[in-house]
Amino acid sequence: AQSVAQPEDQVKVAEGNPLTVKCTYSVSGNPYLFWYVQYPNRGLQFLLKYITGDNLVKGSYGFEAEFNKSQTSFHLKKPSALVSDSALYFCAVRDNTGFQKLVFGTGTRLLVSP
């Protein structure tokens, strides 16, 4: 079965520093990978996806993610963190049942300090 793991419950960075939120995956076949962000009292918001092609995927709000097949990872990155980036981040992989079901990780809370 498809799965993703987010090994960190929380990540803390200072504003202006680069940030990385980690995600590893386990799939049979080619992975379809996604990152979502959830701000307080809001729904999950799609950030970016990897389907095929370039290993570096660019998304909304200056975020990008690097797909690494050999390490089965899909880490979310941003060169310079903002306080407003503080939120809950979810990694997800598309299930291979054919119905576009996503399997989500447990989430990583990002805290950016001023």
Partner 1 sequence: DAGVIQSPRHEVTEMGQEVTLRCKPISGHNSLFWYRQTMMRGLELLIYFNNNVPIDDSGMPEDRFSAKMPNASFSTLKIQPSEPRDSAVYFCASTGLSTLGGEQFFGPGTRLTVL
Q: What is the DSSP letter of 45?
A: E
Minimum distance, C-beta of residue 13 to partner 1, in the bound complex (Å):
23
Residues 79-98, one symbol each (x = binds partner 1 by CB under 8 A, - = not), give: -----------x---x----
User: Encoding tokens for residue 75?
Assistant: 């880490």
Window 22 to 81, contacts with partner 1 (CB under 8 A):
32, 34, 36, 42-46, 49, 51
Answer for the pair 93, 27: CB distance below 8 angstroms, yes or no. yes
Query: Is 100 among the residues that bind partner 1 (CB under 8 A)?
Result: yes
Minimum distance, C-beta of residue 34 to partner 1, in the bound complex (Å):
6
DSSP per-residue string spanning 12-38? EEETTS-EEE--EEE-SSS--EEEEEE
User: Encoding tokens for residue 100?
Assistant: 């576009």
Q: Kindly list the residues in this chain that would bind partner 1 in the complex (CB under 8 A).
A: 32, 34, 36, 42-46, 49, 51, 90, 94, 99-102, 104, 106-107
